[in-house]
A and B are shown apart, each in its own frame.
Chain A
Amino acid sequence: MNVEHDLVESVVAGKRLPLARLLTLVENNAPEGLAALDQLFPHTGRAHLIGVTGSPGSGKSSLVNQIALALRNPPSGKAARSVAIVAVDPTSPFTGGAVLGDRVRMRDLAGDPGIYIRSMASRGALGGLARATTGVVQALDAAGFDVVLVETVGAGQAEVDIARLAHTTLVIEAPGMGDDIQAIKAGILEIADILVINKADHPGVDSTVRALRAMLELGHPTHLHNPVASGTPLWIPPVLQTIATQSEGIADLVEAIDRHTAYLHTTGAWQARDRSRLQTELEQLVQVELNNNWRASVPPEFIQETLAQVETRQISPYQAAKLLTHPLPELHPG
């Protein structure tokens, strides 16, 4: 009897405690967790993965709360969708600890069995996600959630990682960015499928929205966004206004998300994104594997000697790298 198998069955059956424990195992990079993910992988690929990124304090958690509420309580005639939320907050680089506070804004979601909220610390990873976020999202996908909302660390910079992971990326900003617009536009216009100006109750909304629209009309890069053949219609990211604390603009936001989903399906971009995400993941894993194999196969003294030769300028770093990797030395057995 194997433990992973039971774990996998319980997770697919929608049991909460086994899911919670699996997420911990995945987060800790424990072998049982990774083995369970292997078995769960055929059950993935169904969930709509939505990334939520943007400057610190712009209202990401408050909006995630509102979006989840709207998906749980749709207008009559539409089915409610189950929602998993992964909220990433930064790990302190000094202590390795973290205070994860995104749940504070999500109290409206308590008591709903169609909601699952998990907080994650970034654990040293840059780019707004934790290293294990991909695996955690896969597990939630396999557990059958219709939508997985991923809130990144608020960094205010282009979070390319989330754009790679998600089918739909929301970039949340607050009004009054002023001159900052110039600084952020390059990054956010590339990753945003939907731009949200939250805190529309604050002054300066109109000028912020106008400025962003103008930049979008100047033409935005389409390669990351539209990995589909030319000739298919382009997706022009809409710029929306919301007041998360008053539930305003949420219906329009959810409608835009649904339009984007439909766009992904009709143009084949859904599959294209899936493929490119898996390709990135695979390449990263291969790199890690190769690196581990290399480390295990090269005697540390050989690395030290080679480094010494570089230090004394006998050979260049480039030559040293060739020396250490070509041909890849045989793996030590055992």
Chain B
Amino acid sequence: MIERKIRVLIAKPGLDGHDRGAKVIARALRDAGMEVIYTGLRQTPEMIAEAALQEDVDAVGISILSGAHMVLVPRVLDLLRANGQEGVCVFVGGIIPENDVPSLINAGVAQVYGPGTPTTQVVEDITRAVLQQAQV
């Protein structure tokens, strides 16, 4: 019997110590039946891409509240592509100014979430994106 599970890496890049949001999301995804790999704080984009590869995840969720998203997120996307993981869906959450959202989406991020996002929304979006990706 094939038993497929959605695998998601939840990462906190940079020196940002705000980890409540990442943990809330990790737990919500687990409660939705996903397998969540949590790597802890202070990850470099290289560490995130390496973990995404070794764990063969379907999605990467990046939580940033420090303001460094415009540097860190595109770097992660580049590394994922360089590793042949362009099919991995990338989600970003935290404190992301409205103005930065379009360029993140342009760079390849699937969706950006701010404070107060209901976790049910995140679960729904990730599930849909991963299933869609599996069909291409």
Contact = CB atoms under 8 A, between A and B. Distances in A.
Interface in B1-46: 1-5, 7, 26-27, 29-40, 42-44, 46
Interface stretch (A48-56, A98-106, A298-306, A321-329): A98-106
Contacts of B32: 95, 97
Interface string A97-129: 111110110010011000011110101000000
B87 to A, nearest CB: 11
A16 to B, nearest CB: 6
B121 interface: no
Nearest to A96: B33
A267 to B, nearest CB: 35
Contacts of A91: 35
Which of B26, B27, B37, B51 has the most chain A CB atoms closer than 10 A to its own CB? B37
Contact of B31 (A17, A97, A101, A111): A97
Given A24-B56, A107-B40, A118-B55, A17 B83 contact: yes
Interface residues of B, number: 34
Nearest to A15: B84
Contacts of A103: 37-40, 51
B53 interface: yes
Interface in B66-84: 83-84
A70 interface: no
A49 to B, nearest CB: 19
Which of B31, B43, B50, B85 has the most chain A CB atoms closer than 10 A to its own CB? B50
Contacts of B132: none
Classify chain A's interface size: 20 to 34
Interface in A26-42: 28-31
A117 B36 contact: no
A20 B3 CA distance: 17
B47 interface: yes
Interface of B: 1-5, 7, 26-27, 29-40, 42-44, 46-47, 50-51, 53-56, 83-85
26 contacts: A16-B53, A17-B53, A23-B56, A24-B7, A28-B3, A29-B2, A29-B3, A96-B5, A97-B5, A97-B29, A97-B31, A97-B36, A98-B30, A98-B35, A99-B26, A99-B36, A100-B35, A100-B37, A101-B40, A103-B40, A107-B39, A107-B47, A110-B44, A111-B47, A118-B55, A119-B35
